[in-house]
Amino acid sequence: MAEKMTWLELRRAIAVRSGDRQKEVNSFMDELVKQIMEGLRTDKVVRISGLGSFKLQAVAARKSVNVATGEDIVIPGYEKVTFVPESGVIA
């Protein structure tokens, strides 16, 4: 397996390995992502046994400088999704 893989390459690889049609794999992957996003919106964390945890992590607002003008600016805070694999999953 490649070190990095696009979403499309992942879907194709799953279809080939499972023997399922690409359309079925696409539907499954779309639903999986929807369920994870819904869980993050409601609970801020999604744990999948045997895989790991997706969590929303707050990133604080910070000061920066507009390189074009030299003017001080504030980059607003936001939430990002992090993933922590379950212990022992990656060998």
Higher pLDDT residue, 88 or 38? 38
What angle (nearest 5°) sits at the alpha carbon of residue 14, between those of residues 11 and 20?
A: 105
Cα 11 to Cα 31: distance, rounded to the nearest angstrom:
13
pLDDT tier at 2, thresholds 50, 70, 90: low
Per-residue pLDDT reduced to its tens digit, 31-50? 999 999 999 999 999 999 98
Q: Please report, rounded to a whole number, the percentage of residues in the chain having pLDDT higher than 70.
A: 95
- By C-alpha distance, which of 65, 66, 41, 67 is closest to 55? 41
Sheet holding 45-48, edge to edge: 45-48, 52-59, 78-85
